[in-house]
Structure formats: C-alpha cells, structure tokens
C-alpha cells in the first residue's frame, strides 16, 4: 500500500527540482529548498531519503520509455538523455586510452569554480569508458572523497601520509564502490597542517611527484589531482607531479580575475621545478545559456586560450550540485541529466585529445 502523504511530497520535490533545473534563478539554494525540508519533516532517516530519491523519477523521468524502440532516432536532448540512462545500465562504449599515464592537475585558486566537481565527474566518466583512473584528493576539505563516497574521517590513511610520511600511494588508495577502474586517494583534515609541515621537509615541492612515480603507473591511464583553492605548497606539489594543468573556469564575471596569478604560477613552476608542465585543458563550468554574460565570458576565454578550451561547456545543473550529498558523481546519480551528459562529452573530448584517433561526431548541444 503506497503511502499517499509521502507520494505527494515526493512528487512536489521532483517537480520543484525539475523547475529549478530549467530556471536555477527560481531558488537561491535549490538543494536545501523547501521541498527537501518537507521530506525531512516526514521524520525519515537519511537512508530512507536516499532510497526515495533514487526511486523517484529524476530530471528526465518521462523520457526513458517510448523512444527506445528507435535507436537510430532523432538526436534530440530527450533521446540523448534516454540513451545515456540506458548506456549506464548496459555498459558503455570504450574510449581511447593514452599511451602513458596522464597526470592532470585540476587547479584554480578561486574556490567554488567547479574543480572538485570537474575532477570527480571526469574521473567517473573516463573510468566507465574503459580507462583506469586515480583521483588524488589534495584539498583538506576532502570534497572529492565525499563525492566519490570514500571515507575520509581523521584516522583514515590519506594523501597526508604520502606527502609528509612518505607512505606509498598504493597503501592509501581505495577502490571507489560501484565504479570499476576508479581509485581514490582520500584527503582528511590532517592535510590542513601539511602546507606548513611540508615547508621544513626535504624536496618539499616534489613529494607528490615521488609518490606518483613510485606507483606503478603502467596500471593507470589518468591521475587527476583535485587542488585546494590556493596556490600554496599543495598546489605546487600537484603541478610538479604532472605535466598537464586543467583549469575549470566558471562562466561568471569574476572568473577571469586572478587567472593571471594562476598563469604566472604555472610559468614559475615550469621555469624552476617542472619544465614539462603545460596548461593542456580549460573547461568552462556553470554555464547559464540564458545570460549574455556567460556567453561573453566563454568568448573571452576562447579568444585568449583558443584550442585549449574544450568545445563542451558544463551547464549549471541542480543535479550536479545534488549528487555529492549522495556520495555520488552526477554521472551515476542521474546519467540522463544535462550536467551528466556534458561532463561525459567533456571527458570524451579529453580522451580523444592527442590520441591520434578522430572523435566520432557528437552533438553540439553543450557547446558555446
Ligand atoms: N555545473 C554545475 N551546476 C550547478 N552547481 C555546480 C556545478 N558545478 C559545481 N557546482 C556546485 O558549486 C559548488 C562549488 O563547486 P566545487 O566543484 O566544489 O568547486 P571548487 O572545487 O572549485 O571549490 C558546489 O556546491 C558544487 O556542487
Ligand atoms: Mg574543491
């Protein structure tokens, strides 16, 4: 016997989220909006709420059924969403794997520009398409660990132990549940002190590099490093560890401020510590296609960085911001949502960068 009261709240919750997805401005904080509070007042445990949320139809609930009979059907957003949801259940196409492990630092000293979201969702997308990936959480807040559902309370062996005590990465990396081929090295609050502790240690800028080199990187295709919002020793360690920097840029007015400082830091690391370092990829995040400002920021970034900017832009999407509270990436939380499709497209572009293979034609849905 279904519980009628709960049904109503669920429906309302879902409608509300869908409305917000179309019009993020409708709520200032959608994920903590009234509907969710209403669910809470039902006295449900977090587990029940989680199960409910997984069971309710998500962003594209009414699209998964009818068009499936026509696999070669029109390439509409609805068809894409349906295909993505089905692909998630039935296994995925394989993307090219790089010849050697790509170590990519996801950096931007601004907070809240989408570094963690980008790291996590690219990593999950790549892993689900045949690449072996390790996420290194280098932010003391441990947001990437949370988003991947990896335990990071104070006693957990973490990246701190690798950096400060020289413990091998292999000892602290854990498998991410439900995503084969994806490992995560968690960050705990200990890392907050590492910035200072590192100062007096030998080879303080290259400790992460040593840890990565000691790991048998033949076993990995990507190491993605999620940096804290600063340009301190942790970020420098990340830039010394790899040869690629991926910069997420939020499509907002202030986004370009401070970028000069980041570029200067990359040049300094190039000049003194890691000549191989280059900015390989720029990803535009939280794009709101309804505003002229977002388009202007996108144009400006493209005119400055040209080919480095991925064609795919990541739209603002409520699903993207909800996913971490379920210990999930948006790719698994709601594979047919606009945010999941965009991150999948961005990861695919990355996989085809320098692969020598031509990327199969896609859609231009998430391009700006
Ligand atoms: N495309 C997006 N749409 C909506 N919210 C987003 C999107 N990308 C990130 N967010 C949210 O914005 C906030 C900051 O993102 P985060 O990835 O943590 O940034 P950073 O790691 O740079 O500090 C988080 O609450 C995240 O859920
Ligand atoms: Mg972060």
Return the CATH number at 300: 3.40.50.300
- 96 domain residue, yes or no: no
Task: Give every CB contact of residue 201 below 8 A, 6+ residues apart in sequence.
Answer: 164, 207
Give the per-residue pLDDT at 366.
73
Residue in this structure with the two tokens 């019009």, named with its chain if needed: 23
Q: Within this chain, do residues 219 and 344 fall inside the same structural domain, yes or no?
A: yes
Q: Within this chain, do residues 170 and 51 fall inside the same structural domain, yes or no?
A: no
Q: Within this chain, do residues 52 and 62 fall inside the same structural domain, yes or no?
A: no
Atom of ligand 1 nearest to the CA of 119: 17
Q: Within this chain, do residues 27 and 141 fall inside the same structural domain, yes or no?
A: no
Q: Within this chain, do residues 262 and 285 fall inside the same structural domain, yes or no?
A: yes
Distance 105 CA to ligand 2 centre (A): 12
User: How would residue 84 be classed by pLDDT, with cut points 50, 70 and 90?
Assistant: low
Beta strands (DSSP E) in 138-272 are: 174-175, 182-185, 222-226, 244-250
What is the span of the domain harbouring residue 76?
A: 58-91
Distance 113 CA to ligand 2 centre (A): 8
145/174 Cα distance (integer angstroms): 10
47-76 average pLDDT score: 44
pLDDT digits (tens, 9 = 90+) for 285-298: 999 999 999 999 99
pLDDT digits (tens, 9 = 90+) for 119-163: 999 999 999 999 999 999 999 999 999 999 999 998 899 999 999
- 358 domain residue, yes or no: no
pLDDT digits (tens, 9 = 90+) for 36-48: 333 333 444 544 4
* pTM (two decimals): 0.79
- 17 domain residue, yes or no: yes
Centroid of chain to Cα 233: 23
- 301 domain residue, yes or no: yes
- 186 domain residue, yes or no: yes
Q: Within this chain, do residues 82 and 34 fall inside the same structural domain, yes or no?
A: no
Q: Within this chain, do residues 126 and 71 fall inside the same structural domain, yes or no?
A: no
Which residue puts its alpha carbon closest to atom 16 of ligand 1? 114
Which residue puts its alpha carbon closest to atom 12 of ligand 1? 112
- 230 domain residue, yes or no: yes
Q: Within this chain, do residues 310 and 249 fall inside the same structural domain, yes or no?
A: yes
Distance 41 CA to ligand 1 centre (A): 27
Beta strands (DSSP E) in the chain are: 102-106, 133-137, 174-175, 182-185, 222-226, 244-250, 278-287, 309-315
Using a 10 angstrom Cβ sphere, with 0-12 exposed, 13-18 middle and 19 or more buried, the burial of residue 272 is exposed
pLDDT digits (tens, 9 = 90+) for 167-220: 999 999 999 999 999 999 999 999 999 999 999 999 999 999 999 999 987 899
Q: Within this chain, do residues 80 and 109 fall inside the same structural domain, yes or no?
A: no
How much of the chain, in percent, has pLDDT values that exceed 70? 74
Number of domains in the chain: 3
Please, are residues 233 and 201 in contact by the beta-carbon 8 Å criterion? no
Q: Which of 321, 322, 331, 345 to mutate to test the pocket of ligand 1 (most atoms within 8 A of CB)?
A: 321
Which residue puts its alpha carbon closest to atom 27 of ligand 1? 321
Atom of ligand 1 nearest to the CA of 318: 4
Give the per-residue pLDDT at 89.
55
- 218 domain residue, yes or no: yes
User: How would residue 92 be classed by pLDDT, with cut points 50, 70 and 90?
Assistant: confident
Which residue puts its alpha carbon closest to atom 20 of ligand 1? 112
Atom of ligand 1 nearest to the CA of 143: 18
Which residue puts its alpha carbon closest to atom 3 of ligand 1? 316
Q: Within this chain, do residues 326 and 345 fall inside the same structural domain, yes or no?
A: yes
Core vs surface per residue 204-222: b (16+ CB within 10 A) or e: bbbbbbbbbeebebeebbb
77/79 Cα distance (integer angstroms): 5
Which residue puts its alpha carbon closest to atom 26 of ligand 1? 321
Q: Which residue has the higher pLDDT, 220 or 65?
A: 220
Q: What is the DSSP letter of 155?
A: T
Q: Within this chain, do residues 155 and 272 fall inside the same structural domain, yes or no?
A: yes
For ligand 1, which residues put their CB under 6 angstroms from it? 111-117, 143, 229, 285-286, 314, 316-317, 320-321, 324, 339
- 308 domain residue, yes or no: yes
Atom of ligand 1 nearest to the CA of 110: 22
Core vs surface per residue 276-289: b (16+ CB within 10 A) or e: ebebbbbbbbbbee
Q: Within this chain, do residues 52 and 63 fall inside the same structural domain, yes or no?
A: no
CA atoms within 13 A on the CB side of 118: 33
Q: Residues with Cβ within 5 Å of ion ligand 2? A: 115-116, 143
Give the per-residue pLDDT at 22.
41
Tell me the three state secondary structure of residue 161: helix
Please, are residues 102 and 240 in contact by the beta-carbon 8 Å criterion? no
């Amino acid at each position: 016997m279904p519980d009628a009261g709960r049904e109503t709240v669920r429906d309302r919750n879902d409608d509300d989220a869908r409305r917000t997805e179309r019009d993020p401005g409708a709520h200032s904080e959608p994920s903590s909006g009234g509907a969710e509070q209403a669910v809470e007042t039902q006295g449900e445990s977090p587990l029940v709420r989680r199960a409910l949320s997984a069971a309710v139809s998500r962003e594209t609930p009414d699209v998964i059924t009818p068009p499936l009979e026509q696999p070669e059907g029109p390439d509409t957003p609805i068809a894409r969403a349906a295909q993505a949801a089905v692909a998630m259940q039935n296994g995925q196409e394989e993307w090219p794997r790089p010849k050697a492990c790509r170590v990519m630092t996801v950096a931007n000293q601004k907070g809240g520009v989408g570094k963690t979201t980008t790291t996590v969702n690219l990593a999950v997308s790549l892993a689900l398409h045949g690449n072996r990936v390790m996420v290194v959480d280098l932010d003391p807040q441990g947001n990437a660990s949370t988003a991947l559902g990896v335990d990071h309370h104070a006693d957990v062996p973490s990246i701190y132990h690798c950096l400060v005590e020289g413990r091998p990465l292999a000892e602290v990396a854990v498998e991410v549940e439900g995503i084969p081929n994806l490992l995560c090295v968690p960050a705990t609050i200990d890392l907050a002190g590492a910035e200072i502790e590192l100062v007096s240690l030998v080879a303080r800028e290259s400790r992460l590099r040593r840890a990565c080199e000691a790991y048998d990187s033949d076993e990995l295709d990507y190491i993605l490093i999620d940096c804290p919002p600063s340009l301190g020793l942790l970020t420098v360690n990340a830039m010394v560890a790899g040869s690629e920097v991926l910069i997420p840029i939020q499509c907002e007015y202030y986004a370009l401020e401070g970028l000069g400082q980041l570029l200067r830091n990359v040049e300094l690391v190039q000049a003194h510590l890691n000549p191989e370092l280059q900015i390989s990829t720029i990803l535009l995040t939280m794009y709101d296609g309804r505003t002229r400002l977002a388009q202007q920021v996108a144009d400006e970034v493209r005119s400055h960085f040209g080919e480095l900017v991925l064609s795919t832009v990541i739209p603002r999407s409520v699903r993207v911001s909800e996913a971490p509270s379920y210990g999930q990436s948006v790719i698994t939380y709601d594979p047919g949502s606009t945010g999941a499709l965009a991150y999948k497209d961005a990861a695919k572009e990355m996989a085809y960068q320098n692969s020598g293979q031509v990327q199969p034609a896609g859609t231009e849905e998430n391009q700006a």
